[in-house]
Each structure stands twice: as C-alpha cells, then as structure tokens.
C-alpha cells in the first residue's frame, strides 16, 4: 500500500505509540522523513533518479567546466557534440592521468574526464570537472547523473519513495524515531525495538537492490530477469 503524507504520519504515530499532534513528534517529523529518505537513496541506486542535462558547455582552451551541486548527486556520463554534430562519450579516468598525459598544452576534442573537486574560489559552489585533451573549440555537453527525489511533506503529499517503497520508508523512519525514544540502550524498556526495525529494513533492502539491478539490466547475465541459481551460468 502506497503512502501519502497523512497516512505516513498516522502509521508512524501508531507504531511509535505517540499522538500525531504531540509537539515533540511534530518537531522531529521533518528530521525523521529526511533521515529515512536520504538513507534509502544512499542505499539504493535508483534508476528513477538518473537524469540528463544538456545545458553545459566547455570553452575553447579551458580544460575544466563546472556543475552546480544542486544539479547532480553523482555524475555518471559526459558526452560532447563534436564539430560534425556527432555525440561522443568521454571516458572516466583519474585527474592524475589527464594531468600527466595531456597537461594543459595538448589540444583537441576531449577524450577523458575526471572529477576534479569543488569549484575554485567558491564556497559550496559546485563540482569542477577536468577533461583531456584541452578542448580546441567550444563544445556543448550532455551530462547524466543522479538527483535526489523531492521530500515528503504537508505540501508534497506523495513521492516516489512513499508510493513505491512504503515498507522501507516506514522501517527507516522507525529506526530514527526509536533512537529518539532512547530504545537503543540495554537498560531501556524495549532494547530490541530499534534492532528489530533495522533487521527488517536490511531484509527489505536486499530485495529492493535486486529489483533496481533488474531495472537497469544488471541482473544475471546482464538481463532484467530475477536471479536464478539454475540459470546463472551464461548460455554458451
């Protein structure tokens, strides 16, 4: 069963045995949602978080370009449009490789890219990406990567996680709230409460990981099929 914001609040307050109108519950509610959503998104590499952005360019004679932090959590691929209009994929490598092989004085269409670090001279400005060789012309770029889902709130009544992963969402939330209720220690009333929710979350995570791999054709033999101990060896 999928969750809305209201049904999520009702279910958590019931499981935690605390009125949903309790002022302390209302204070920790946004923090609990953030904890659960971030944990799930860090544990699962969702296909649905992968997006493309074609608004970037890299200037002639400049071997770096910048991506704001808000655009991507992780960068996955970078392509450029060459002078004939063809799309060319850059190969990810280390910045040391680009610096040693190309330096700054080797010019041509880019072949490689590396994550260089934070944008120079800016606080929380963005990622700087190094390419090699140094571009001999200005090129348009297409970058793909992952983003965060919008968060569940009173103003956003349903999200991808609340709709399609409600069981994990509840378990991750209960891990947070039971820690808040101080049920991790041996001397508390129910020392196994948080441990039980953590165990159930890990069980759900395993099946969710398998499903995400299948969505991306990263299942057995690079298919979208479910794992099978009999069919695991590839056909000859």
Give me the tens of pLDDT residue by residue for the chain, a chain 236 residues long: 799 999 999 999 998 888 889 898 999 999 999 999 999 999 998 999 999 999 999 999 999 999 988 899 999 999 998 888 889 999 999 999 999 999 888 999 999 999 988 766 555 568 899 999 999 999 999 999 999 999 999 999 999 999 999 999 999 999 999 877 765 444 445 555 556 888 888 888 888 888 888 877 877 777 777 776 665 555 65
Predicted TM-score (pTM) of this structure: 0.80
Spatial CA neighbour of 62 closest among 122, 6, 141, 123: 141
Residues 6+ apart with CB under 8 A from 181: 16
* Cis before 53 (ω within 30): no
Residue whose tokens read 């990622």: 127
């Amino acid at each position: 069963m999928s969750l809305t914001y209201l049904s999520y609040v009702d279910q958590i307050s019931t499981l935690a045995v605390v009125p949903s109108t309790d002022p302390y519950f209302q204070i920790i509610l946004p923090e609990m949602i953030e904890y659960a959503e971030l944990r799930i998104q860090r544990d699962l590499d969702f296909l649905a978080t992968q997006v493309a952005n074609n608004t970037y360019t890299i200037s002639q004679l400049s071997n770096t370009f910048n991506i704001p932090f808000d655009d991507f959590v992780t960068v996955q691929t970078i392509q450029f449009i060459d002078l004939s209009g063809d799309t060319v994929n850059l190969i990810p490598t280390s910045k040391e490789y680009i610096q040693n092989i190309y330096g700054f004085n080797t010019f041509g269409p880019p072949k490689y890219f590396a994550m260089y670090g934070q944008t120079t001279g800016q606080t929380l400005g963005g990622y700087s990406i190094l390419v090699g060789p140094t571009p001999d012309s200005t090129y348009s770029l297409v970058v793909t990567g992952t983003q965060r889902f919008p968060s569940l709130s009173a103003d956003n009544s349903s999200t991808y996680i609340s709709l399609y992963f409600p069981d994990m969402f509840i378990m991750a939330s209960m891990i947070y709230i039971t820690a808040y209720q101080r049920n991790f220690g041996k001397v508390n009333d129910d020392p196994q409460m948080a441990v039980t929710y953590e165990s159930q979350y890990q069980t759900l995570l395993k099946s969710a990981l398998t499903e995400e791999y299948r969505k991306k054709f990263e299942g057995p033999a690079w298919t979208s099929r479910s794992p099978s101990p009999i069919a695991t060896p590839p056909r000859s």
